[in-house]
């Protein structure tokens, strides 16, 4: 007897949840994970680069500004440092139709003034020669950007981007 397949409406097509240590060597891991996640949508090279850059900036902000971890990793080595105490960064990605939603969240120090942080070239770490363009890049490369933060309560960055080409949708029509 053949079992009838039940279709459950989840409200989304696919999702990815991950948590990793807030160290610089994991920024590239997050970037590659989101790339693999959206690959089935057949994004253009520009869309792929936009998403990877936005995720990279959001994760870097969590590591450097959220937790103040500026040590990162030793260039040329694939190992993350063991001797530092770090927080966690959570990444949640969801695909609904042709829209990608990405959330990057930390439990770090939070942002005192979100409006000021959104100003291009503003940085809280000028001694690190940070350019202060992270949020500007996220705004430029994604269709929507929301920053939910309060001092001492961490930060959650929510981004969305519509991805253009989905050949399997055209086949169904």
Which residues, in sequence order, are CB contacts of 121 under 8 Å at separation 6+? 131, 132, 133
| Most confident range, picked from 9-13, 72-76, 150-154 | 150-154
pLDDT tens track for 88-105? 999 999 999 999 999 999
14 is a catalytic site residue: no
Q: What integer is the mean pLDDT of 137-153?
A: 94
Look up the pTM and report it.
Answer: 0.79
In CATH terms, the fold of domain 14-166 is Heat Shock Protein 90 (3.30.565)
31 among known catalytic residues: no
Q: Annotated catalytic residue: which of 26, 27, 31, 57?
A: 57
Plot region of 159 (φ>0 → left; ψ -120 to 50 → alpha; else → beta): beta
Is the predicted pLDDT of residue 131 greater than 80, yes or no? no
The tokens for 41 are 């949508």
Indicate which residue of 26, 27, 31, 61 is catalytic. 61
Distance CA 142, CA 81 (A): 32
Pick the catalytic residue from 26, 47, 105, 130: 130
> Which tokens go with 21?
């240590």
What is the per-residue pLDDT for 171?
A: 52
């Amino acid at each position: 007897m053949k079992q009838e397949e039940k279709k459950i409406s989840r409200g989304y097509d696919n999702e990815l949840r991950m948590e990793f240590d807030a160290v610089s060597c994991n920024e590239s891991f997050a970037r590659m994970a989101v790339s693999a996640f959206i690959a089935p949508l057949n994004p253009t090279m520009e869309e792929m680069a936009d998403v990877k850059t936005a995720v990279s900036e959001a994760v870097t902000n969590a590591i450097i500004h959220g937790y103040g971890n500026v040590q990162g990793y030793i260039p040329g080595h694939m190992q993350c440092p063991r001797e530092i105490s770090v927080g966690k960064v959570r990444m949640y990605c969801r695909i609904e139709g042709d829209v990608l939603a990405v959330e990057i969240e930390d439990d770090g120090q939070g942002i005192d003034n979100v409006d000021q942080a959104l100003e291009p070239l503003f940085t809280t770490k000028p001694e690190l020669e940070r350019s202060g363009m992270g949020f500007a890049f996220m705004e430029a490369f994604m269709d929507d950007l929301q920053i939910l933060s309060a001092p001492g309560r961490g930060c959650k960055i929510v981004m969305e981007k519509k991805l253009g080409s989905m050949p399997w949708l055209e086949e169904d029509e």
